[in-house]
Amino acid sequence: MVKLNEDLKIWNKNASLYDKYLKQDQDIYQKLINEPSIFKLLGNLKGKKVLDAGCGTGVFSHRLKLKRAKAMGVDGAPNLIKLAEKNYPEIKFEIADLTKKLPFENSSFDMVVCKMVLPHLPTVEKTFTEFYRILNRKGILLISLPHPVLTFYFYLKNKWQEKKEFSWTGMEGYFKKVKIKASMGKDETFFPLIGWYRPLKFYLNKITAAGFLLEKIDEPELTREFKKKFPDYYKRKKEIPLTLNLKFLKL
């Protein structure tokens, strides 16, 4: 039996709440803004072997398959994998801790997508070297993160600096790696989480040290179409960097 770390225990315990949250279509930003950015960076997925690393209940694995990718998913929380298998029985899922050696041969995949997962891993050094090992030559690694600026302000400072001056009050501590308290869902689907805030240079340096080349980045912005459907959400977050998507190539 896989030994679960502190974060995985929380996800495992609340797997059904997370599944309910997604099925209520509450994660509108991911579906309408962030995932289109990811698919644009990935390019043609037809016939590509793609690993959804940190697949949760399998929602994004399913969307990869709809793009005609040969998708499979892994997650370290057994209860999430059970739900993924139930939700999408046509896709293969496995239990695997992303902080440890992955259960795949060298050069097994054309692409690895790790979406909104890294801040929930207590360590990531092994993660990146394993992604490199299991990717084919010139394979693509797509990392999608909560934007470090958003994470820093929302979870650590819980404010946005509104007064324009040259003092940068509130930015102290940006370079520190800090364990944070977070949450998922709302109302009846709410549950607390933990995570680890890390500055942008931490991720870039660790990933490139594993052998990857950064090819392209995107900071998805809310669109006019999104504004029409969700005007309140748009008004509150139109100028806030919500996610950061990074496309790397295996050298």
- Mean pLDDT of the residues in the chain: 90
Residue 1 scores a pLDDT above 60 = no
What DSSP character marks residue 116?
A: S
Tokens representing 18 are 């997370």
What amino acid occupies position 199?
P
pLDDT, tens only, 188-207:
889 999 989 899 999 999 99
> Residues with Cβ < 8 Å from 52, sequence gap 6 or more?
58, 60, 61, 64, 71, 72, 73, 74, 113, 115
Q: Which of 11-15, 18-22, 172-176, 178-182 has the lowest mean pLDDT?
A: 172-176
Residue 152 scores a pLDDT above 80 = no
Helix (H) or strand (E) holding 245: strand 243-250
pLDDT, tens only, 165-192:
444 455 567 788 888 888 888 888 899 9
Residue 161 scores a pLDDT above 50 = no
pLDDT value of position 168: 47
Of 32, 41, 180, residue with least CA distance to 119? 180
What does CATH list as the number for 6-157+169-250? 3.40.50.150
What amino acid occupies position 113?
V
Banded pLDDT at 59 (limits 50, 70, 90): very high
Provide the residue ranges of all domains of the chain, joining segments of one domain with +. 6-157+169-250
**Average pLDDT for residues 58-69, to the nearest whole number?**
97
More confident residue, 232 or 27: 232
Of 16, 32, 39, residue with least CA distance to 184? 16
Residue 163 scores a pLDDT above 90 = no
| Paired strand residues for 114 | 143
Residue 157 scores a pLDDT above 60 = no
User: If you count DSSP H runs as helices and E runs as strands, how many of each does the chain have, helices first?
Assistant: 11, 9
Banded pLDDT at 92 (limits 50, 70, 90): very high
